[in-house]
Chain A
Amino acid sequence: MVDIVPLSSYPSYIDLLPSIQTCNITNLPENYFLKYYLYHALTWPQLSFVAVVRPKAGYTKHTDEEGRGSATLAEQYPKVVGYVLAKMEEEPTDGMAHGHITSLSVMRTHRRLGIAERLMRMSQRAMAESHRAHYVSLHVRVSNTAALRLYRDTLGFQVESVESKYYADGEDAYAMRMDLKDMWMNWEEIERKDRLRAEKDEKDADEGDDVGDLGKKDAEEKEKEKMVKVKVGRGLGVGDLVEKNESQVQA
């Protein structure tokens, strides 16, 4: 069974890096020093994900010593059968923040399980949420029909251009991209609500003051209404907030 986990956020599994590097050099001709993987993991910890084989007896460790917390695979070095290594473009030529897939691969023996798709979706979502990426870009060999099918048909990427002789062996690459803006969080709304809450707190602190003015009272009522809304939002917790956000976008 294969589990898909974040590389270096929470929990953080940096100790998987040597096995990720092995997965890469076993499958692909484009290889990197371990330091380059570290660079990704430590610069954009939210964006990379790993597919590991669950050990036969399951994971033996937990996030706490008493075993009450969630299971963790740290220090158990499970077999890595896939990964997506992703980053944000550091100096985007078009001035738009966007993500880039540095490398994606799944062991031949673990294909057709939807692992690559899942890895991509996790990374894309994180690019949108954490970094407000306008889009995600990647390169794919023109001969790689399976990958092309995944990116274009399953995930919805579009071919942007053909980059001649992109690969070391002379093969051309499709430069592909996909828009991510519909997964953005509504930062303005969060900031606005926080502002209102702060103002409310300040007011609460001044509560002893006389309120003689009717108009002012009205304003206060309005504030209160808004405050109630805020509370609902906050009470739902982060996970729910995000789900809600998404459904708003869909609607």
Chain B
Amino acid sequence: MSNLGQQEEAFALAKEALKNDMKSHICWHVYGLLYRAEKNYEEAIKAYRFALRIEPDSQPIQRDLALLQMQMRDYQGYIQSRSSMLQARPAFRQNWTALAIAHHLAGDLEEAEKVLTTYEETLKNPPPMSDMEHSEAVLYKNVIMAEAGKLEKALEHLEAVGHRVTDVLAVMEMKADYLLRLDRKAEAEAAYTALLDRNPENSMYYEALIRAKDIPENDHKTLKAVYDSWVEKSPRGDAPRRIPLDFLEGEDFKQAADAYLQRMLKKGVPSLFANIKALYTNTWKRDTVQALVEGYVSAPQSNGEANGDNTEFLSSSHYFLAQHYNYHLSRDLSKAMEHVDKAISLSPKAVEYQLTKARVWKHYGNLEKAAEEMEKARLLDEKDRYINSKAAKYQLRNNENDKALENMSKFTRNETVGGAMGDLHEMQCVWYLTEDGEAYLRQKKLGLALKRFHGVYNIFDTWQEDQFDFHSFSLRKGMIRAYVDMVRWEDRLRQHPFYTRTALSAVKAYLLLHDDPDLVHGPLPGGANGDDADSAERKKALKKAKKEQQRLEKLEAEKRDARKAASATAKGADGEAKKEDPDPLGNKLVQTEDPLKEATKFLTPLLESSPQNIEAQNLGFEVHLRRGKHALALKCLSAAHAIDPSNPALHIQLLRFRKALDNLSEPLAPQVAEVVDSEFESLLPKGQNLEEWNNNYLSTHKDSVPHTQAGLTCRQLLNAESKPQCEKELAATLDSQILALETAVAGLNLLSEWGSDQTAKTAYAEKAKSKWPESSVFQLN
């Protein structure tokens, strides 16, 4: 029944069976299995325990219990289970290994090592080289020793048995690492030399080698000689040629850079600029590189190949300069455009050149043009998915969700349930779902935005679930080190930037929905969202939005029917029949009663996994404050303050928190009030004159536009009458030399937040537009 997908019936039957026979271990076991299938692991563990109490010697029950204990990270329980499984069957190596893993993950390294050694001592003869499981167990034991800090012992062990281990590279890496940590420099040098002989493209090896050789940081000559020796050994490699550019200075740098650049430009290596740009934090190096490459294009015959075909060198050089002038540390967009056009005229079919042209448009702030140009790049090589992905991404940045999906569908399996979008979900295409959701969020189509963000959320759940099978599989295969690394990775899964980004966007979407419940019907035409609550105009707009929503639903239903007709039995990649999504537009998601509570679903793991992300703390404050959780809101403020006390968003939030405390509709519970007051006192003291505090902030950070924007926001919060003056000063920030386009756009959004009138917005937008004449982002809705 459970396998048939009829969970409820299965549970009813199991309960019935238990009623008939409370003492049947089989019934309890099945009951547990049902819970496990539902992913209710806690209940499943309880049921297994009952079954085991009735039938203590049952290996299948014991094994199922152990797997769940591992999944739930109940290490003490797992140790118990594994001990009794070992007692029952001590002849199996994997039972020993499993117990060692249990102790290892529980933090008892001594015991883990002891278990492995005990097993080893039962072996009369060394197993043959072909015994991979043994080879891996040896390395596993070695890793445990090293983790326990017993490096000498680990090294000795490795010297004694390492030659029998078939993962040769691992042994070399471990040995080199231990030697370096033990400060046994001469041997470490030999070990890293051996590693570099195998793989000269690893900067970490060079770094270690140089530490082992004790070469002082400023002895550039000796350093360069080391790298040169590897250029000789591996003439086609990149690392030993590129790394010296990091430390060389003056004429030495210029010479080395010249040789490096010319070589790569002649080869037409497209990643040359990506390889070089890290040097630009040093402005002298940046200017030197610029002068060199400008020299190549102005006097191309001087490069010594006047007779050969020089076109590739020339077009590569223009391409390089296009990227150079497009880069934020050396930006001059008109020059970038000039060079990219020259490169394209020399090699009209080069996808990379056309791609760069689209990027220049992006930096101009014209997303429409950028998407158009990227589409041209795509058409240059329609069989290449990379450029197809780029084109779709640029369309999403331009809020063209349908066009983007149309492009993506050229490489998806469109017979999947749910069509191209279904395939992108199934194949866990996180980047696309995130970009798609963010595009919907910008358009205030919150249902679809939330739909995508939940899609990513579910993918992370799946990834967490994925480990389950490996708890048994990896023991069979015996590849323990990788398994342990996986377990640890799963424990910090949502630390991944993919999760962080989606969670931040999802929280923003829920905040928007909470602040403007009308958005449940989609964006109101004419930007009427948030305006006077009862105006006739709002009602009209609302009606229109609802109509649009119905139209979309109908459209989606038609698409679904068409797909159904096309393939009566669509199946997923795993062969299982998949059901159509009952809520493809996310209407159910957006109709939530409590957006803030839903937001915490994304927020809690975000704050747990990435507490150092200041934007996460900023948004955490917004959610908690709206939920009336003052202590939690303050916790976010304190955390943000610890990361960056002058953070602009934090500055505004400090003021808003002060005001919120001053205007509580009902007082906080006494204990809460005490904690909040005393902790907030250190962030923004009660006796502080707020205007003075804000003016201080403004003058300290007068050269930074984001900080100025925050200071002005606070000023108009403190004194509504200062708004016209603040608007003027905000427009004046557009004169700043170091202003980024994104910051200027944020300024325009700020005016909406302040509730400024159309005149102020128009003035700002026009001034911005004159500074970025090619842009399309300063449109008023």
Cα A185 to Cα B485 in complex, Å, equals 28
User: Is there an interface contact between B274 and A53, defined as CB atoms closer than 8 Å?
Assistant: yes
Residues of B with Cβ closer than 8 Å to A?
A: 126, 128-130, 132, 139, 143, 158-159, 162-177, 180-181, 183, 190-191, 194-195, 197-199, 201-205, 207-208, 236-239, 242-243, 267-271, 274-275, 278, 281, 351-352, 383-387, 389, 411, 413, 426-431, 462-463, 466-467, 469-470, 473-474, 477, 479, 481-483, 485-486, 489, 492, 495-498, 573-574
Contacts A42-B479, A108-B386, A110-B274 given; does A237 touch B427 at CB 8 Å: no
Complex contact B181–A8 (CB within 8 A) = no
B482 and A9 contacting across the interface, CB-CB below 8 Å: yes
Contact surface of A with B, Cβ cutoff 8 Å = 1-6, 8-12, 14-15, 17-18, 21-22, 25-29, 31-35, 38, 41-46, 53-54, 56, 58-59, 63-64, 68-73, 75, 77, 81, 107-115, 118, 122, 125-126, 129-132, 143, 168, 185, 187, 190-191, 194, 198, 233-234, 237-243
Q: Which residue of A lies closest to B431 (CB)?
A: A22
Contact across chains for B174 and A18 when beta carbons are under 8 A apart: no
Chain A hits for B351, CB < 8 A: 108
A29 near B411 with CB under 8 A, answer yes
Chain A residues whose CB sits within 8 angstroms of the CB of B238 once the complex forms: 1-2, 113-114
Can you name the residue of chain A whose Cβ is closest to the Cβ of B139?
Answer: A10
A240 to B169, CA, bound (A): 12
Alpha-carbon separation in the docked complex, A4 to B199 (Å): 8
Nearest B residue (CB) for A193: B163
7 of the cross-chain contacts (CB-CB < 8 Å) are A6-B170, A10-B169, A15-B492, A22-B498, A35-B466, A42-B477, A45-B167
Q: Could you tell me if B180 and A109 are in contact, using CB atoms closer than 8 angstroms?
A: no
- On whether the beta carbons of A190 and B270 are closer than 8 Å, the reply is no
Q: Which residues of A have CB within 8 Å of B181?
A: 63-64, 68-69
The 6 closest A-B pairs by CB, nearest first: A239-B194, A187-B129, A12-B485, A45-B482, A8-B482, A10-B170
Chain B residues near A12 (CB-CB < 8 A):
481-482, 485
Q: A45-B479, A69-B181, A190-B163 are in contact. Are A56 and B278 (CB under 8 A)?
A: yes
Of A56, A64, A118, A129, the residue contacting B168 (CB under 8 A) is A129
A109 in complex: contacting residue of B173, B352, B429, CB < 8 Å: B352
Chain B's nearest CB lies how many Å from the CB of A135?
A: 18
Interface SS, B side: helix
CA distance A54 to B204 in the complex (A): 10
Contact of A241 among B130, B163, B191, B204 (CB under 8 A): B163
**Chain A nearest CB, measured from B313 CB (Å):** 14
Q: Are B271 and A75 interface neighbours, CB within 8 A?
A: no
Interface Cβ pair total, 8 Å cutoff: 249
List A contacts of B492 (CB < 8 A). 15, 75
With a CB–CB cut-off of 8 A, which chain B residues contact A56? 278, 281
Q: Is the CB of B170 within 8 A of A34?
A: no
Instruction: Say whether B168 contacts A77, CB under 8 Å.
Output: no
Instruction: State which of A25, A38, A43, A130 has its C-beta within 8 Å of the C-beta of B429.
Output: A25
For B183, list chain A residues within 8 Å (CB).
68
Query: Which residues of chain A are near B481, meaning CB under 8 Å?
Result: 8-10, 12, 45
Contacts of B242 in A (CB 8 A): 1
Contact, CB under 8 Å: B129 / A237: no
Q: Which residues of B contact A131 (CB under 8 A)?
A: 132, 166
Q: Are A29 and B172 in contact (CB under 8 A)?
A: no
A194 touches B486 (CB 8 A): no
**A38 contacts across to B, CB distance below 8 A:** 466-467, 470, 486
Determine which of B202, B281, B574 lies in contact with A3 in the assembled complex, contact meaning CB atoms within 8 Å: B202
B113 to chain A, nearest CB (A): 17
The answer to whether B130 touches A114 (Cβ under 8 A) is no
Given contacts A9-B167, A122-B199, contact A132 B190 (CB under 8 A): no
Would you call A191 and B271 a contact (CB within 8 A)? no
Name 6 extra pairs, CB < 8 A, besides A17-B489, A77-B497.
A10-B170, A33-B426, A42-B479, A42-B486, A77-B496, A112-B271
Identify B169's interface contact among A15, A46, A111, CB under 8 A: A46
Residues of B within 8 A of A25 (CB): 389, 427-429, 431
Determine how close the nearest CB of chain A comes to the CB of B462; give it in whole angstroms: 8
- Select from chain B the residue with minimum beta-carbon distance to A130: B166
Contact of A28 among B385, B479, B483 (CB under 8 A): B385
Contact across chains for A112 and B268 when beta carbons are under 8 A apart: yes
Contact yes or no, B430 A42, CB < 8 A: no
Within the complex, which residue of B197, B275, B470 is in contact with A42, where a contact is CB–CB below 8 Å?
Answer: B470
Determine the chain B residues whose CB is within 8 A of the CB of A45 once the complex forms: 167, 479, 481-482
Q: Tell whether A6 pairs with B431 under 8 Å between CB atoms, given A14-B482, A122-B199.
A: no
Residues on the A chain within 8 Å of B237, using CB: 114
Contact between A130 and B482, CB atoms less than 8 A apart:
no
Minimum CB distance partner of A68 in chain B: B181
Q: Which residues of A contact B413 (CB under 8 A)?
A: 168
Q: How far is the CA of A44 from the CA of B87 in the complex (A)?
A: 30
Please give, as numbers and ranges, the residues of chain A lying within 8 Å of B168 by CB-CB distance.
126, 129-130, 185, 238, 242
In the assembled complex, which residues on chain A have CB atoms less than 8 Å from the CB atom of B180? 68-70
- Report whether A4 and B202 are in contact in the complex, using a CB–CB cutoff of 8 Å: yes
